[in-house]
Amino acid sequence: MSDVLELVEARLRTTLGEPDARAAVTFLGTDRIEVLRFVGDLDNEVVRYATLGMSAQPMSDPTAVVADPLRGPRAELVLTVRGGRADTDKVLRPLAVLAASPQVEGVIVAPGASLDVGEPLWPGAPFTSVLVAEPGGLVEDLELDEPCDPVRFLPLLPMTPNEAAWKRVHGAEALQERWLRHGVDLRDPLRSGVPLDD
């Protein structure tokens, strides 16, 4: 399905511009996952990281006896942070790990899900997990020929361990409302956790 990945990369380039860096990670028994870095504004204020490879095959229900090679949700992951405040380029491997999780662990990554890498996303990061947000705001879905599902570009919102625990109890929507109410800058790679006791 290299043609799918070519279409995905073309969509990313059309939307985000030319990547200024890319790295490839291969895990035993999985397809190669690349992570592309896109630097936005002229002052490099915003940096975006997008996976490339997760959508090569559809995510399948882990209980299915045989995985459908064509039908099923497809996705890539997109993380946006403010540049120059932390060594966020070290997020490349954790992002690749998350993108490989459907192949490795048989999970279906969808909006509202929590993904945990078990270590800081980058050196000094107060985050070890991310919330998968709704797609479509930054990069539009990529329609594929029938019977394939479209590729969705899922934004990732870093969560502190306390936010992740609170989200497990109250849900993704409640956490996002709390972030909004407190004016949390979700792109700040050094932000502190949102107040959870009011």
Calculate the CA 197 to chain-centre distance: 28
Q: What is the pLDDT of residue 62?
A: 66
H helix count then E strand count, the chain: 4, 7
User: Is-contact 189 82, C-beta < 8 A?
Assistant: yes
Query: How far apart (Å, rounded) are the C-alpha atoms in residues 40 and 27?
Result: 30
Please report, in tens digits, the pLDDT of each residue of the chain (198 residues total).
Answer: 459 999 999 999 999 999 999 999 888 777 899 999 999 765 568 999 999 999 999 998 766 666 777 888 999 999 999 988 899 999 999 999 999 999 888 889 999 999 999 999 999 999 999 999 999 888 999 999 989 999 999 999 999 999 999 999 999 999 999 999 999 999 999 999 999 887
- Of the candidates 57, 55, 56, 92, which has an alpha carbon nearest to the alpha carbon of residue 75? 55
Q: What is the pLDDT of residue 128?
A: 95
Q: What is the pLDDT of residue 40?
A: 72
- Of the candidates 95, 105, 104, which has an alpha carbon nearest to the alpha carbon of residue 130? 95
Q: What is the pLDDT of residue 44?
A: 61
User: Is-contact 104 30, C-beta < 8 A?
Assistant: yes
- Of the candidates 45, 42, 47, which has an alpha carbon nearest to the alpha carbon of residue 21? 47
User: Is-contact 144 8, C-beta < 8 A?
Assistant: no
- Of the candidates 4, 50, 46, which has an alpha carbon nearest to the alpha carbon of residue 188? 46
Query: How far apart (Å, rounded) are the C-alpha atoms in residues 100 and 50?
Result: 13
Q: What is the pLDDT of residue 78?
A: 98
Q: What is the pLDDT of residue 41?
A: 60
- Kindly report the pTM of this predicted structure: 0.93
